[in-house]
Amino acid sequence: MDDNTSARDILHDMLETMGLQGESAPGGEQAMDLVRNGFDAGTPYDLILMDWQMQGMDGIACAQALRRDWGQRCPPVILVSASGTDVAEESIADRHTSICHSLTKPVQMSRLHEAIAQVLGKPILEPTWHGARQRGQESRRDSLRGFRVLLVEDNPLNQELALELLDEMGIVADVAENGASAVAAAQDTRYDLILMDMQMPVMDGLESTRRIRQLAGWETAPILAMTASVFAEDRERCLASGMNDFVAKPIDTDVFHAILTRWLRRPSLPGLPDPVLHASHDLAAQAHAQRRLASIPGLDLDKGLKVTNRDATRLLQYLDRLHTDHAQDVHLVSQLLAVGQRSDARRVAHTLKGLAGTFGLTDMQRVAAELETALLAEGAPSSGLLQRLQAELETMAASLGNQLPNTMPRVTMHAEVADWAELRGELVKLRSKLEAAELTSARDYEVLRPALEAAVGEAARTLGRQIEEYEFDVALLTLTDIQSQHLRLR
């Protein structure tokens, strides 16, 4: 029972993945009618999942009424609340109800499974690592296999994570790196669903959605916002632009699957090959990786493993990629502020906050969120705040350097470049295109990339990533920094 349709549907879908059947109600009065009908038909419910805070009769009041009407025959109740289990337990301490357990929103599949098994006192289908995990993946491939989705996301690491999850569900996905590219893709291809990030360069998710809705055949197709915002006004703006639903960041794999299942209802396409599963099934390797992860300061291991379906080796690879792509973010924020690009600096902090939250780096997420908030206000953020975020990045880097095998190829610095004069000339051309924000900058960069990587190493990869993400103003700063530090490139 929940008055929020999305939350109610997600819980219902989670129960189905455990092999449980149930009915749902939007409020206390309707729930009491369903319980009464169950007793009248001789098929009483075994369990009730009850939201606490609802309009009209709240969950605790409904549980009291059910206990009053049905006494010892009343089914056990699990109370679901966004206020935390301690607050919930205090509120029901002096009330006569059949509430025997409480869960905190957002509900995690593993916690829900444990609570139901404990309350019912018998085993149920276990959607956890290894054998049951494989069953869950097979079920997900069967239900969603063959659908085609457009993923609109500017951050490469977020792209990789979402594509992994979609691939495991058997979904065919294309990627657009900004809102303008998404509009172009929607003109050329009829997708079953679009996953739309909100904050992107060139064109944001709101404007992209408005333009897509104007295209023929896109009037009602599902477009889901991918957002870390918890503010009602932001979500209302998404709905007003033409979006249908939300996928919260950081992504919870079970909730993600439930939302996609709700919007992708047509029969799947036959004859498509099964996707490749990337997760390792070597339990010894998984245990070894989990021990390494457990020693990383500030990492919420359970939260991080949620996004990789409990694949510890994959989580290590994601963290290494996070370090590779974002080690210079504090320096980049300082550069942007120095030239008055405050909104771009805030976007850097916002992206880092989202990625840290996705992979369970709770301390880094908190500090990045403080920086994003500071950049929304007037004045410069304190140097202490920037130093704290830099310390979080350095702590993660040290942990990964000590613990992680080299999962991503690193650029080796070479002493000599074949033709420094030619490289200088190519950089002059690249600078001109970046200043004009020409989309062909990415193509031109690919031509000079091997020579530039040989000359400056990691800085060239940072420049390439920024150009790929159409962050031309930021790329100009990076290019200036490269040339100022390397006399032979001036």
> Could you report the per-residue pLDDT of 332-380, keeping only the tens digit for each?
898 888 888 888 888 889 888 888 888 889 999 999 999 999 998 877 7
Tell me what the pLDDT averaged over the chain comes to. Answer: 78
Mean pLDDT to the nearest integer, 309-331 = 83
pLDDT digits (tens, 9 = 90+) for 109-140: 667 887 888 888 765 554 443 334 444 444 44
Nearest Cα neighbor of 437 from 180, 186, 165, 98 is: 180
Taking the C-alpha atoms of residue 214 and residue 210, their distance in angstroms, rounded to an integer, is 7
Rounded-to-10 torsion of CA 346, 351, 353, 355: -170
What percent of the chain stands above pLDDT 70? 80
Rounded to whole angstroms, the Cα distance separating 281 from 66 reads 46
Contact 196, 143 (CB under 8 A): no
In contact, 410 and 372? CB cutoff 8 Å: no
Which CB contacts under 8 angstroms, 24+ apart, belong to 417-422? 417/451, 417/454, 417/455, 417/488, 418/451, 419/451, 420/455, 420/488, 420/489, 422/451
Nearest 5 degrees, angle CA 447-CA 450-CA 454?
A: 145
Average pLDDT over residues 81-105: 72
Write out the H or E segment, with its range, that includes residue 154: none
Reported confidence tier of residue 86, pLDDT bands at 50, 70, 90: low
* Cα–Cα distance measured from residue 150 to residue 306, given in angstroms and rounded to the nearest whole number: 23
pLDDT tops 70 at residue 273: no
**30-44, 216-230, 279-293, 427-441: lowest mean pLDDT where?**
279-293
Place 38 in a pLDDT band, splitting at 50, 70 and 90: confident
- Specify the higher pLDDT residue, 410 or 55: 55
Residue 283 confidence (pLDDT): 55
Q: If pLDDT is split at 50, 70 and 90, which confidence band does 215 have?
A: very high
φ and ψ at residue 61, rounded to 5 degrees: -60, -40
Q: What pLDDT is recorded for position 181?
A: 92
Predicted pLDDT at 88: 61
Query: How confident is the model over 25-29, as a mean pLDDT?
Result: 86
CA-CA distances (angstroms) from residue 80 to 87, 115, 259, 468? 11, 11, 19, 43
Q: Write down the pLDDT at residue 178.
A: 92
Three-state DSSP class for residue 172: strand
Tell whether the model's pLDDT for residue 142 goes beyond 70. Answer: no
For the segment 220-233, the average pLDDT, to the nearest whole number, is 80
List pLDDT tens digits, range 369-408: 999 999 988 777 888 899 999 999 988 888 876 343 333 3
Here the tokens at position 223 are 């477009």
Which tokens in the block code for residue 399? 């942990």
Taking residues 291-296, what's their average pLDDT? Answer: 79
Taking the C-alpha atoms of residue 316 and residue 402, their distance in angstroms, rounded to an integer, is: 12
Q: How many Cβ atoms from other residues are within 10 Å of residue 469's Cβ?
A: 20
Structural domains in the chain plus CATH codes: 5-120 (3.40.50.2300), 136-263 (3.40.50.2300), 283-403 (1.20.120.160), 420-489 (no CATH)
6 band by pLDDT with thresholds 50, 70 and 90: low
Do the beta carbons of residue 33 and residue 56 sit within 8 Å?
A: no
Residue-level length of the chain:
490
Given this model, what pLDDT does residue 287 score?
A: 66
pLDDT at 100: 83
Q: What is the mean pLDDT of residues 251-274?
A: 66
Interval 179-207 mean pLDDT: 91
For residue 17, name the pLDDT band (cuts at 50, 70, 90): low
What is each CA distance from 14 to 20, 132, 296, 416, in whole angstroms? 9, 14, 31, 58
Compute the distance between CA of residue 18 and CA of residue 136 in angstroms, rounded to an integer.
9
Residue 372 CB neighbours (<10 A): 20
Segment 412-467, tens digit of pLDDT: 333 344 467 788 888 888 988 888 877 778 878 888 888 888 777 778 888 888 88
157, 357 contact by CB (below 8 A): no
> CA 489 to CA 143: how far, in whole Å?
55
- Nearest residue to 59 (alpha-carbon basis) of 101, 18, 17: 101
**Mean pLDDT within 275-283:** 40
289 HSE (CA, 13 A, CB side):
24
Q: What is the H or E stretch that residue 340 is in?
A: none
- Amino acid identity for residue 376 in this structure: L
- Cα 69–chain centre separation: 43
Is the confidence at residue 87, as pLDDT, over 80? Answer: no
Average pLDDT over residues 291-318: 81
pLDDT at 106: 64
Residue predicted with more confidence, 292 or 74? 74
Find the mean pLDDT for residues 149-153.
Answer: 94
Specify the pLDDT at position 407: 35
Model confidence at 153, in pLDDT bands (50, 70, 90)? very high
